[in-house]
Amino acid sequence: MVTRGFTGRNSAGDQLDRIPPGQHLVEHFPVLTAGPTPRVETADWKFTLKIGPRTIKVWNWNEFNALPKTKMTRDIHCVTSWSKLNTAWEGVIVDDILADAGIERPSDFVLAHSYDGYSTNVPLADLASGKAMVALNYEGQPLARDHGGPARLLVPHLYFWKSAKWLNALQFTERDEAGFWELRGYHIYGDPWREQRYTDD
Ligand X SMILES: Nc1nc2c(c(=O)[nH]1)N[C@H]1C(S)=C(S)[C@@H](COP(=O)(O)O)O[C@H]1N2
Does 90 help bind ligand X (rule: CB under 6 A)? Answer: no
Q: Site for ligand X (CB under 6 A): which residue of 45, 64, 89, 166?
A: 166
Q: Site for ligand X (CB under 6 A): which residue of 32, 66, 88, 99?
A: 32
Binding-site string for Mo ion from residue 23 to residue 62, where x marks contact by CB under 5 A and - marks none = ---------x------------------------------
Taken in order 46, 52, 54, 56, the sign of the CA dihedral is negative
Residues 120, 169: Cα–Cα separation, whole Å = 11
Does 161 help bind Mo ion (rule: CB under 5 A)? Answer: yes
Tell me which stretch binds ligand X (CB under 6 A): 43-51, 58-66, 91-99, 160-168: 160-168
Does 72 help bind Mo ion (rule: CB under 5 A)? Answer: no
- Beta-strand pair 82-93/24-25: parallel
Residues 105, 124: Cα–Cα separation, whole Å = 8
Does 34 help bind ligand X (rule: CB under 6 A)? Answer: yes
Residues 6+ apart with CB under 8 A from 174: 52, 107, 109
Residues 188, 184: Cα–Cα separation, whole Å = 10
Q: Site for ligand X (CB under 6 A): which residue of 165, 168, 171, 190?
A: 165
Complex with Mo ion: residue 50 or 152, whichever CB lies closer:
152
DSSP string, 104-116: S-S-SEEEEEETT
Tell me which stretch binds ligand X (CB under 6 A): 5-13, 45-53, 101-109, 163-171: 163-171
Burial of 78 (0-12, 13-18, 19+ CB in 10 A): middle
Does 118 help bind ligand X (rule: CB under 6 A)? Answer: yes
Does 40 help bind ligand X (rule: CB under 6 A)? Answer: no
Q: Site for Mo ion (CB under 5 A): which residue of 58, 67, 78, 188?
A: 78
Residue 71: half-sphere exposure toward Cβ, Cα within 13 Å: 8
Binding residues for ligand X, rule CB under 6 A, total 17
* Interacting residues toward Mo ion by CB under 5 A: 32, 78-79, 161
